[in-house]
Chains A and B, each alone.
Chain A
Amino acid sequence: MLALRIKKAVRKGATLVVADPRKIWLTKLAKRHLQLRPGTDVWLLNAMMHTILSEGLQNEEYIRGFTDDFDAVREIVLRYPPEEAEKVTGVPAEDIRATAREYARERHAAIFYTLGITEHACGVDNIWSLSNLVLMTGHLGYESTGLNALRGQNNVQGLNDSGANPSYLPGYQSVDDPEIQRKFADVWGAEIPDKPGYRLDQIVSGLHDGRIKALYLVGENPAQTEPNARHVEEGLEGLEFLMSQDIFLNDSTRKYAHVVLPASSFAEKDGTFTNTERRISRVREAAPLPGEAKVDREIVLLMAKALGARWPEYPDAEAVWNELADLAPNWYGIRYDRLEENGMQWPCTDRDHPGTPYLHAPRPALPSGRGRFFPVEYQPPIEDPDSEYPFVLTTGRTLYHYNSANMTMREPGVVDKQERPFFEIHADDARGLGIDHGQLARLVSRRGELEAEAHYSERVYPGLVWMALHFAEQKVNWLTHDVGDPLIGTPEYKVSAVRVEPTPQAVGDGR
């Protein structure tokens, strides 16, 4: 859907540059495709900044007025000349230079990124690099600019805003701030644990090292969606107690859950979702719940009661929202009656505040009002291809399915378009291995193996294979490794080393 806005902009004359290891659809409309090797983003971005600084295209006024630590970045990026970048990234130096110039000179220049940037062991470095580029040019805080993270899930922004985060209470208020703790403890009538909790990756590794003994899943399926998924499954098996509330059984709960509570889909409940532009929109009950299933709000309230808590009644979703908004200053001004039309974008601090379409306007939205440069050195991916595992495997999603595909695999009209597990491979590679188009082939990594249809594809270059995470029967996460970003633990779904081989049953002649 976001691509439609990009298409619209291109039709009106905008210049589009796509940086992606794969030749995605939008490259058809792009002026240039920077087809970099997975995991070499820092080289590409530092080399773009190298060009900007050597040609004096930076926005000195913005740098002086609104940022700190610029000199540290200058020093580092000058060691990343485009000619060297070409060797590492595979992107021609002239393309890097041209893109840097176009980006720096255009006042309305926006960057959109998604998991290709974050799902790396250097994911945070990648973000910092992008941020350095944006701060250096001052392209933020007004229309058609900024560094825009495209969220892949309906309420992944909102769940974090609402406090489903080990370090932050609702509204990004630190769990280890005594004043904040007191504020929440007073309203909740319970003490708040003062140490940050475990992140997703720490919870998953905790399954193995004994830190985590019980897991409460809400609509999650870590045995499919987490890296090195076979290993995750072993961890789930070892739990003393696993419970879930969900709308379907999945591979994490079918075998390992002790209790599964039937929950609600989006069509059966009231509430709000927050989209990728921080826009809070209403969700409205439309259809009845199946059987004895309950809305998730009610399930959590019943669990709290069963555990002996005395909570307020929360007769409806709005009552819950009001408690959240009362406790979170940047949400305080947003109430249901203001969401009827097209929602509102936080921050919104009081009833008269119009909401905030551009977060960093007129200056970076930090307490200091200044954006900080973080110099970044290139770190190669954890797993480089070698003679035993010569291919880079990168993973992703398709238009037709959604994550573990528990919802979309139940839609025959969509399944018609994409039914069976497949991976993309360049025809030259496949022919060399004697694998036909459409034939079952095997992908093997140090963690596991799977069989899927080999699809000859121009989207990948020789040496790269790509597969989506949607297929429960052949999970690409059996192959991925689980060494994530050292700071935040985001897994490196985008780079694993694999080998490709024909299945013994079907050795083709590479047609």
Chain B
Amino acid sequence: MTAMVEFTLDGRAVSAPEGELLVHAAARHDTFIPTLCHDSKLDPYGGCRMCVVDVEGSPRPMPACATRVAEGMVVSTNGAITDFQRTLTEMLLSEHLNASPGGRPNELLDLANELGAEAPLILPDAKREEYDDRNRLMGYDPDACILCNRCVRYTQEVMQCSALSLEGRGGQARIVPTWGLSWLDTECELCGGCLSVCPTGAIYEKFEEGTKRPERALEQVRTTCTFCGVGCQIDLNLDPETKHIVKVTSKDEYLPNEGNLCVKGRFAFNFVHHPDRLTQPLVRGEDGELHATTWEHALQVAADGLRGVIERHGSQAVGFLSSARLTNEENYLIQKLARAVVGTNSVHSCEST
């Protein structure tokens, strides 16, 4: 057990495990401290200063995302600090001509809204040069980027690869794939972890352009990914009208993937709505080709086909190869069909590899 420490939060006596980050300790005591560059998956950074708090005895405000609680600490999250946060928000806003292109979720604008902050002016060099890349999965909008470096830190700390870096200074600073290459040509695995931690939607799914709805109107359905055996928990984000999957997201509290996804889980769902999908039963005709037909006819041909083989050669002449794409329930029914209806235990799959 970690030792607990007592400290004072906005005049209240509270406790927290020793060494816990102040921002997390405060959250557990229902005190919300705004953050932008902070991500609990990443090492403490303290870059954007949005989370600063007053700590008694400290000559200047301290970032709650990089300060650990200590015995007897006296912390204040309101008062003068709120003005500081508003000013900081205004400074960030003034660096963007259009802080929220495409209507994507934007924590900076949320914060501005909450604090009543408005850009007092737009800096002359606010409009950064547009960026484009030939990859078809992820886009980057320098104008929406607040340079919090969460994306770069994600690649370094979670993926432990060198996919992105921060390049340039001042108004020219931007996030770019390492060495200025295309995203397709670096060590990047296209997992999209960078866009999942981006607070302002500066890095975004290009798919998203497939829906006209602002993103917050998308419906979310939680499910389990259909690719590998990890069983990542994902939210399918659907256009409420077309019911098409627009993008896939996850959340930090989801197990076993803790909000992380790979390139397939995040991006490779185009197959669901692909025009090649089978939409009608097919039966092979006299001409040797497959032809669309009714369910009734197809089921009849299928049943006759199986029955014919059973009559001529016995039940053991029928084999079933089931699929790991199917659910447990479907596999249960398939083996029941094989055993209880056809009369064979020969039901298997690629499981034996």
- Which residues in A have their C-beta under 8 angstroms from that of B336? 163, 188, 304, 311
State which of B56-64, B101-109, B173-181, B302-310 sits at the interface with chain A. B302-310
- Which residues in B have their C-beta under 8 angstroms from that of A410? 270-271, 274, 276
- Tell me if B195 counts as interface (CB < 8 A to partner A): no
- Tell me if A170 counts as interface (CB < 8 A to partner B): yes
A213/B309 contact (C-beta < 8 A), A167-B345, A259-B284, A274-B328 known: yes
CB distance from A9 to the nearest CB of B (A): 11
Q: Which 5 A-B pairs have the closest CB atoms?
A: A291-B279, A275-B231, A271-B327, A151-B229, A197-B345
Cross-chain contact of B333 among A248, A272, A300 (Cβ < 8 A): A300
- Which residues in B have their C-beta under 8 angstroms from that of A285? 221
Q: List residues of B (213-268) whose CB comes within 8 Å of A's CBs.
A: 221-233, 236, 238, 243-245, 254-257, 260-265, 267-268
Beta-carbon nearest neighbor of A484 in chain B: B352
Please list 8 pairs of residues, one from A and one from B, whose beta carbons are closer than 8 Å in the complex, sorted by A's number. Answer: A170-B332, A213-B309, A218-B334, A241-B309, A279-B231, A291-B280, A317-B327, A413-B135
A159 touches B323 (CB 8 A): yes
- Tell me if A366 counts as interface (CB < 8 A to partner B): no
Q: List residues of B (277-317) whose CB comes within 8 Å of A's CBs.
A: 277-284, 290, 295, 298-303, 305-310, 312-313, 315-317
- Tell me if B320 counts as interface (CB < 8 A to partner A): yes
CB distance from B298 to the nearest CB of A (A): 6
CB distance from A91 to the nearest CB of B (A): 25
- Which residues in B have their C-beta under 8 angstroms from that of A213? 309, 312-313, 317-318
B343 touches A193 (CB 8 A): yes
Cross-chain contact of A162 among B206, B272, B307, B328 (Cβ < 8 A): B328
- Tell me if B212 counts as interface (CB < 8 A to partner A): no
Bits for A248-288, please: 1 = Cβ < 8 Å to B, else 0: 11000010011111110111111111111101111111111
- Tell me if B80 counts as interface (CB < 8 A to partner A): no
A306/B300 contact (C-beta < 8 A), A154-B229, A156-B324, A412-B270 known: yes
A154 touches B225 (CB 8 A): yes
- Which residues in B have their C-beta under 8 angstroms from that of A218? 320-323, 326, 330, 334
Beta-carbon nearest neighbor of A118 in chain B: B353
Cross-chain contact of B320 among A8, A118, A216 (Cβ < 8 A): A216
- Which residues in A have their C-beta under 8 angstroms from that of B270? 410-412
A215 touches B321 (CB 8 A): yes
- Which residues in B have their C-beta under 8 angstroms from that of A279? 231, 255-256
CB distance from B238 to the nearest CB of A (A): 6
- Which residues in A have their C-beta under 8 angstroms from that of B295? 292, 294, 302
- Tell me if A110 counts as interface (CB < 8 A to partner B): no
Interface residues of A (CB under 8 A from B): 1-2, 4, 7-8, 10-11, 29, 115, 118-119, 150-167, 169-170, 175, 184, 188-193, 195-203, 206, 211-220, 222, 225, 240-241, 243, 246-249, 254, 257-263, 265-277, 279-288, 290-294, 296-297, 300-304, 306-309, 311, 314, 317, 320-321, 323-324, 342-343, 399-400, 402, 406-408, 410-414, 416-417, 488-491, 493
- Tell me if B137 counts as interface (CB < 8 A to partner A): yes
B326 touches A155 (CB 8 A): yes
A193 touches B273 (CB 8 A): no
A491/B321 contact (C-beta < 8 A), A193-B343, A286-B223, A300-B337 known: no
CB distance from B261 to the nearest CB of A (A): 7
B232 touches A1 (CB 8 A): yes
B328 touches A303 (CB 8 A): no
Beta-carbon nearest neighbor of B254 in chain A: A342
- Tell me if B98 counts as interface (CB < 8 A to partner A): no
Most central of B322, B327, B340, B345 by chain A CB within 10 Å: B327
B interface size (C-beta, 8 A): 112
- Which residues in B have their C-beta under 8 angstroms from that of A262? 277-282
State which of B69-77, B111-119, B154-162 sits at the interface with chain A. B154-162
- Tell me if B166 counts as interface (CB < 8 A to partner A): no
A165/B233 contact (C-beta < 8 A), A1-B262, A175-B345, A266-B223 known: no
A259 touches B255 (CB 8 A): no
Interchain CA distance A190-B336 in the complex, whole Å: 10
A158 touches B256 (CB 8 A): no
Beta-carbon nearest neighbor of A243 in chain B: B302
- Which residues in B have their C-beta under 8 angstroms from that of A247? 271, 277-278
- Which residues in A have their C-beta under 8 angstroms from that of B344? 193, 197
CB distance from A350 to the nearest CB of B (A): 19
- Which residues in B have their C-beta under 8 angstroms from that of A10? 160
- Tell me if B350 counts as interface (CB < 8 A to partner A): yes
B159 touches A7 (CB 8 A): yes
A11/B157 contact (C-beta < 8 A), A158-B331, A197-B344, A342-B254 known: yes
- Which residues in B have their C-beta under 8 angstroms from that of A215? 318-321
- Which residues in B have their C-beta under 8 angstroms from that of A275? 224, 229-231, 256
A214/B305 contact (C-beta < 8 A), A29-B160, A259-B282 known: yes
B318 touches A214 (CB 8 A): yes
B333 touches A273 (CB 8 A): no
- Tell me if B126 counts as interface (CB < 8 A to partner A): no
CB distance from A248 to the nearest CB of B (A): 6
Interchain CA distance A273-B227 in the complex, whole Å: 11
- Which residues in B have their C-beta under 8 angstroms from that of A288? 243
A412/B136 contact (C-beta < 8 A), A307-B303, A320-B329, A323-B332 known: yes
Most central of A154, A164, A243, A267 by chain B CB within 10 Å: A164
B267 touches A267 (CB 8 A): no
A219/B323 contact (C-beta < 8 A), A259-B281, A273-B224, A297-B329 known: yes
A220/B348 contact (C-beta < 8 A), A1-B228, A260-B278, A262-B277 known: no
Cross-chain contact of A287 among B158, B273, B339 (Cβ < 8 A): B273
Interchain CA distance A269-B233 in the complex, whole Å: 15
Most central of A202, A222, A267 by chain B CB within 10 Å: A267
Cross-chain contact of A164 among B260, B279, B322 (Cβ < 8 A): B322
- Which residues in A have their C-beta under 8 angstroms from that of B308? 240-241
Interchain CA distance A343-B264 in the complex, whole Å: 22
Beta-carbon nearest neighbor of B315 in chain A: A193
